[in-house]
Amino acid sequence: MKNPYYMLWADAFWRQIKYHPKEKDEVGKVFNSFTLINAVNLGTVIIWITMLYGKIEFLQIQFNIFPGTVLNKVFWFLIFFYFPFAIINYFFVIRKKIYIKIKNEYKTEGKGYFVHYGFISVFLFFVTVLIYGMLDTGFIAVLLCSAPVLVFGIIYFISQRVRNNKRK
C-alpha cells in the first residue's frame, strides 16, 4: 500500500517539474508549500480545540521583539505553526534525499492530489474561521467578511466538475 503522505509529496514535485521546468529549486518551493499547508491544518485543528474546550495556554504567549505588531505576529506564527512542520518535513522527506526515492517510486505525474489537498485544507480553514466567527461575534459580520472566500470555493469546485466532465 502506498503512503498517502509521500503520494502528496510526489504529486507536488511532479507538478512543480511539469509547470515550472526551468526553475531549479523545486525542492525548496514544494517544501515551503507543503509546510504552509500543514501549518494551516494545524491552525484549523487548534481553532476547533479552542471552540470545544476553551483557550489553549501556550498559544497565549506573545513576542515583543520587533517594532510593531505585524512582525511579532509573523514571528509567532513561524514559531508555533511553521517551524514544527518544517522540522517534521525535513526529517521525513528532505534529509538523506528521500525525495528522490519518493519521486521515483510514486509516479503521480501531477494528477492534482496536492492541489486538491491544498484547496480543501484552505477551504476547511476558512469554514472553521467562519463558524468560529459566527459563534464569537455574530452571523452578519462574519458572513459579510467571508462571502468572497465562500464564492471562491464554490467557483473552484464547479470548475473542477466541469473540467472533469470535459475529460470524459
pLDDT in tens, 73-94: 788 888 888 999 999 999 999 9
pTM: 0.74
- pLDDT value at 112 more than 90: no
- How far is the C-alpha of 99 from the C-alpha of 103, rounded, in Å? 6
Look at the block and give the residue holding cell 487548534. 46
- pLDDT value at 39 more than 80: yes
Q: How confident is the model at residue 38 (pLDDT cuts 50, 70, 90)?
A: very high
Residue 161 confidence (pLDDT): 62
User: Of 39-53, 89-103, 144-158, where does the model show the most confidence?
Assistant: 89-103
- Alpha helix (H) ranges present in 23-138? 26-53, 69-77, 83-89, 98-105, 113-136
Boundaries of every domain in the chain: 4-167
Residue 83 confidence (pLDDT): 93
Mean pLDDT computed over every residue of the chain: 79
Between 135 and 131, name the one with better pLDDT. 131
